[in-house]
Structure 1
Amino acid sequence: MKLKTGFTALVMAGVLAGCVAPAPKPVATAAIQSCKADNQMQQTTLYFGLSRPAGKAITGQEWQQFVDGDVTPRFREGLTVFDAHGQWLGNDGKVAREESKALMLIHGTDAQSEAKIEALRGIYKSRFAQESVMRVDQPVCVQF
């Protein structure tokens, strides 16, 4: 009798496990999955600080030269620039704030796009003595 009770409990556990609703998919993931393959792209937003560690701030003219000479030749299809005000917690425990630029790029998920983005980050860090250029990537469904 004990074996039959154990078997029944095991069967019931299996049946009840099938009654548990799966976790809902995040809306963004569901939207990308329903997106036509031709419309699936990647959105990369880069955040560029406009303060140099030592010295004057990066000027509007210097920023525009970077966009015209380095960004546009790599992303001729288009781009968007936003003015931003960034802040972060520094190694010294103090909140640091600076004017920034956000550059949004919509591109394919290919090695060439990846290389172009990483080149921009490297050029900016080197040219303007920056520790980092923050990068945020997400899949997007694009229609024109």
Structure 2
Amino acid sequence: MTLKTGFTALIMAGLLAGCVSPAGKHPNAAAQTCKAENQMQQTTLYYGLTRQGGKAITAQEWQQYVDNDVTPRFRDGLTTFDAQGQWLGSNGKVSKEPSKALMLIHSVDAQSDTKIDALRDIYKSRFAQESVMRVDQPVCVQF
């Protein structure tokens, strides 16, 4: 799977679009007004649902991964959603693949980082994936 290149371009376009700020407003105004106790990290992981060779990862396999691997590491909560990945392959052709995205809101610390990297490694190993793209950004959270 080569989701890495395509997802990177897609995400970068979205992130750059978010860099535009209304006239007269500083782009980091929200971050500057966020109280320390509300500052967290949002990590979104992007997973392809097709193994090398074309065999699909089933809904049951995905759910088992979420239940058995993700939830124990991030018990406070998570969000998953369906996606459709598209990327330009090394052969110059556009490839498309059903995908999943997993959004985690967590503290910025080595323990969270280790857990996220473990999730990526587990998925790549279990489902013969070349990559699981990771996108991190600071967020201001209120409950």
Question: The TM-score by the shorter chain falls in which range?
Answer: 0.7 to 0.9
Q: Unaligned 5+ residue runs, structure 1?
A: 1-22
Deviation at residue 96 of structure 1 after TM alignment: 0.6
Q: Which has the higher contact order (CA 8 A, sep 6+)?
A: 2
Aligned to 1:4: none
Amino acid corresponding to residue 66 of structure 1 in structure 2: Y
Aligned to 2:35: 36
Amino acid corresponding to residue 136 of structure 2 in structure 1: D
The total of aligned residue pairs comes to 120
Amino acid corresponding to residue 91 of structure 1 in structure 2: S
Counterpart mapping for 1:68-79 below 5 A: 68-79=67-78
Q: TM-score, normalised by structure 2?
A: 0.81
Counterpart mapping for 1:1-144 below 5 A: 25-26=26-27, 29-144=28-143
Amino acid corresponding to residue 104 of structure 1 in structure 2: M
Q: TM-score, normalised by structure 1?
A: 0.81
Runs of 4+ with >2 A deviation: none
Deviation at residue 25 of structure 1 after TM alignment: 3.2
The separation in 1 between residues aligned to 2:130 and 2:98, in whole angstroms, is: 15
The separation in 2 between residues aligned to 1:130 and 1:49, in whole angstroms, is: 8
Percent of residue pairs identical: 77
Q: Unaligned 5+ residue runs, structure 2?
A: 1-23
SS at match of 1:25: coil
Bigger radius of gyration, 1 or 2? 1
Deviation at residue 24 of structure 1 after TM alignment: 6.2
Deviation at residue 30 of structure 1 after TM alignment: 1.7
The separation in 1 between residues aligned to 2:105 and 2:119, in whole angstroms, is: 15
